[in-house]
A = this chain, B = another copy of it.
Amino acid sequence: MKGFGSHMTFNYPSGTRVNKQTVQTKTTRSKGYGNRGATLENDLNVTNKFYVDSNRANIHKKPTPIQIVDVHYPRRSAAVITEAYFKQPSTTDYNGVYKEKYIDFEAKETKQNTRFPLSNIHDHQIEHMSSILHHGGISFFIIRFTTLDETYFVNLPFVLSYWENQNKGGRKSIPYDHIKENGHLIPLKYQTPVDYLSIIDRLFF
């Protein structure tokens, strides 16, 4: 598989298959009109680049963590990694600073259109994000329902209530209607395809 980018389905080193919901965050959306065709990750890269370039915020995607096993050093050319594995991230994908506030979030896509399955989220991510709140940062999810082409800003405390309820044996997903009602639809703009700072402005400043 040549010409490989950052979108992929893969297994973690344990050899266990990544569940379907997680993998969906990595698939490429089918092309269509308007914004369709771009993954949430691509849209966020464009948005964050515009924020940085226009001096509005400094927020970046972290590199994908890789476990390197073997490297070759051909003469007079770049070192080649010849054996490496994907590691499961221990934190979130995006962080940075906006108006003196620490920003830390995770972006998820789902093909479901009636609910967001909590299996998309890992224990250690919830732990990490709870810690961010404790230290006075702003932490949230950006959730895209790809078939509806709707992207929501979902604040961490709202997700935490469903997470804790799940741990007590409650439902394993957040209904779409609840996200529509309690989350915040993120406006799609040309220069900022996922203009989440407009929501942060409204909620926190």
Contact = CB atoms under 8 A, between A and B. Distances in A.
Chain multiplicity (copies): 2
B66 A63 contact: yes
Interface residues of A, number: 60
A2 B83 CA distance: 9
A79 B71 contact: no
B83 A80 contact: yes
A66 B64 contact: yes
Given A55-B131, A58-B131, A1 B81 contact: no
A95 interface: yes
Contacts of A198: none
Contact of A4 (B8, B62, B69): B69
Contacts of A78: 10-15, 85-86
Given A68-B6, A77-B15, A102-B102, A97 B132 contact: yes
Nearest to A137: B97
B137 A100 contact: yes
Nearest to A91: B60
A11 B137 CA distance: 37
A128 B48 CA distance: 13
Interface string A131-145: 110111100000000
A70 interface: yes
B102 A101 contact: yes
Contact of A15 (B11, B76, B86): B76
27 contacts: A1-B70, A4-B70, A5-B68, A10-B71, A10-B78, A10-B79, A11-B73, A14-B78, A57-B135, A58-B128, A62-B62, A63-B66, A63-B89, A66-B68, A66-B81, A78-B86, A79-B86, A80-B85, A81-B83, A81-B84, A95-B96, A97-B137, A99-B136, A100-B101, A100-B135, A100-B137, A102-B102
Interface of A: 1-6, 8, 10-15, 52, 55, 57-58, 60, 62-66, 68-73, 76-87, 89-91, 95-102, 104, 128, 131-132, 134-137
